[in-house]
């Protein structure tokens, strides 16, 4: 098992962000380059892992001494050569070179590459382009046959000395090691790449999780001689909810859930208990919240509502309340669920002194 795994993470990734290098951005709760290290460790296929970065000190304390963390060069090809020189004295059989910007390769791909290196001096995963390709020479544009075109991915595997001998000879920079092989007219064994092994180039590539969740809770005291509002409509009842506004616990919980899902604090931040908002209808509070949500390109997927009270009986008003919320929010009725929950006559809610509500929502950000 004399295999070495080189991870190149020294580039600046200017297309991604002007200030912070791409490899230090968080992706699936890890810095981008960490995915490649952890997968290589997990695979148990490598004697040594070499991480090439621009600032080794920053990362060193995080990993054991078994992982070499070295400083890269100006260009990708410089970094690659520095790493190859670093491991030469260990006389590796095989070396895999990988771009940290591809965190989604599988361990199975590593295995396939190494298997192919038994009878070949190189093994390079390729992928057929999905779009039509054109090629420009001077001012003339040519069509490229898609079925004859390849996109190369990393990791790319090589017999160490074959690659090393070419890399020290090459004077120009090269975009990946298979290009180097082609420059020297060497044969490459192409193997099937992976759909998911895409290169992260732009911010949008990393922000793939566009769904967010929010939770809201509210409780108001029940008092006589007040109208009861739930979900934006008046419900016939002997008491109403006391509050600075109309006390609509359902709408208040919905609003807090939406603010929670979009990391926008809480209802009190925007509608404090000031004179201006005294006795305001909650539908009027909901409106600007929805407007902002819409402006920031979020849409609501669903609402799940628990209304917690002994009386009134939710089953009697469920359809009406759902209808009202659906109209207020432009949300399909099928995406709104309202559950009634009693509390076995326990506590303030059980003694019909208060009504509480909790809501969970999911929202999606779109471009």
**Alpha-carbon span 235 to 231, nearest angstrom:** 9
User: Does residue 246 interact with Zn ion by CB under 5 A?
Assistant: no
The number of residues that bind Zn ion (CB under 5 A) is 2
**Alpha-carbon span 154 to 115, nearest angstrom:** 16
User: Does residue 99 interact with Zn ion by CB under 5 A?
Assistant: no
What's the closest the beta carbon of residue 249 comes to Zn ion, in angstroms?
A: 6
Which of residues 67 and 258 has its CB atom nearest to Zn ion in the complex?
Answer: 258
Given candidates 99, 218, 246, 310, which one binds Zn ion under the rule CB under 5 A? 218
**Alpha-carbon span 190 to 152, nearest angstrom:** 9
- How would you classify the pairing of strands 94-99 and 156-159? antiparallel
Site string for Zn ion, 322-351 (x = CB under 5 A): ------------------------------
Which range in 37-45, 76-84, 208-216, 249-257 contacts Zn ion by CB under 5 A? Answer: 249-257
Distant-in-sequence, close-in-space partners of 353: CB < 8 Å, separation ≥ 6 = 221, 222
Cα angle 63, 26, 261 (rounded to 5 degrees) comes to 140
By CB under 5 A, what part of segment 172-211 binds Zn ion?
none
User: Does residue 358 interact with Zn ion by CB under 5 A?
Assistant: no
What's the closest the beta carbon of residue 355 comes to Zn ion, in angstroms?
A: 10
Phi, psi of 204 (to 5 degrees): -60, -30
Which of residues 60 and 221 has its CB atom nearest to Zn ion in the complex?
Answer: 221
Site string for Zn ion, 31-70 (x = CB under 5 A): ----------------------------------------
Residues 36/69, Cβ–Cβ less than 8 Å: no
User: Does residue 252 interact with Zn ion by CB under 5 A?
Assistant: yes
Cα angle 341, 342, 346 (rounded to 5 degrees) comes to 145
Which of residues 157 and 240 has its CB atom nearest to Zn ion in the complex?
Answer: 240
Which of residues 99 and 246 has its CB atom nearest to Zn ion in the complex?
Answer: 246
Phi, psi of 133 (to 5 degrees): -115, 140
φ/ψ region of 73 (left if φ > 0, alpha if ψ in -120 to 50, else beta) reads: beta
User: Does residue 354 interact with Zn ion by CB under 5 A?
Assistant: no
| Chain contacts with Zn ion (rule: CB under 5 A) | 218, 252
């Amino acid at each position: 098992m004399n295999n070495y795994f080189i991870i190149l993470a020294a580039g600046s990734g200017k297309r991604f962000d002007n200030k912070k290098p791409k490899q230090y951005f968080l992706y699936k709760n890890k810095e981008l380059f960490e995915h490649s290290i952890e997968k290589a460790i997990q695979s148990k296929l490598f004697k040594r892992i070499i991480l090439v970065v621009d600032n080794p000190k920053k990362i060193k304390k995080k990993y054991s001494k078994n992982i070499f963390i070295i400083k890269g060069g100006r260009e990708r090809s410089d970094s690659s050569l520095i790493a190859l020189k670093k491991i030469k004295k260990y006389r590796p059989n095989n070396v895999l070179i990988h771009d940290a910007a591809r965190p989604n390769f599988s361990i199975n791909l590593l295995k396939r590459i190494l298997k192919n290196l038994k009878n070949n001096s190189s093994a390079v995963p390729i992928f057929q382009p999905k779009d039509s390709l054109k090629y420009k020479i001077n001012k003339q544009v040519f069509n490229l046959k898609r079925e004859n075109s390849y996109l190369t991915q990393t990791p790319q595997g090589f017999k160490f000395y074959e690659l090393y001998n070419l890399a020290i000879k090459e004077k120009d920079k090269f975009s990946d090691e298979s290009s180097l092989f082609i420059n020297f007219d060497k044969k490459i064994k192409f193997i099937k790449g992976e759909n998911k092994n895409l290169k992260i180039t732009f911010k949008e590539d990393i922000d793939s999780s566009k769904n967010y969740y929010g939770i809201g809770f509210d409780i108001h005291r029940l008092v006589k001689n007040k109208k009861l509002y739930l979900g934006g409509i008046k419900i016939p009842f002997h008491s109403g909810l006391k509050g600075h506004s109309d006390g609509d616990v359902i709408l208040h919980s919905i609003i807090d859930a939406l603010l929670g899902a979009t990391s926008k604090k809480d209802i009190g931040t925007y509608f404090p208990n000031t004179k201006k908002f005294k006795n305001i209808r909650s539908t009027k509070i909901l409106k600007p919240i929805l407007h902002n949500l819409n402006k920031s390109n979020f849409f609501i997927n669903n609402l799940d509502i628990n209304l917690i009270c002994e009386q009134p009986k939710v089953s009697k008003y469920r359809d009406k309340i759902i209808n009202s919320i659906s109209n207020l929010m432009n949300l399909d009725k099928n995406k709104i669920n309202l559950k009634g929950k009693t509390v076995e006559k326990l506590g303030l809610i059980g003694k019909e002194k208060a009504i509480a509500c909790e809501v969970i929502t999911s929202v999606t950000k779109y471009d």
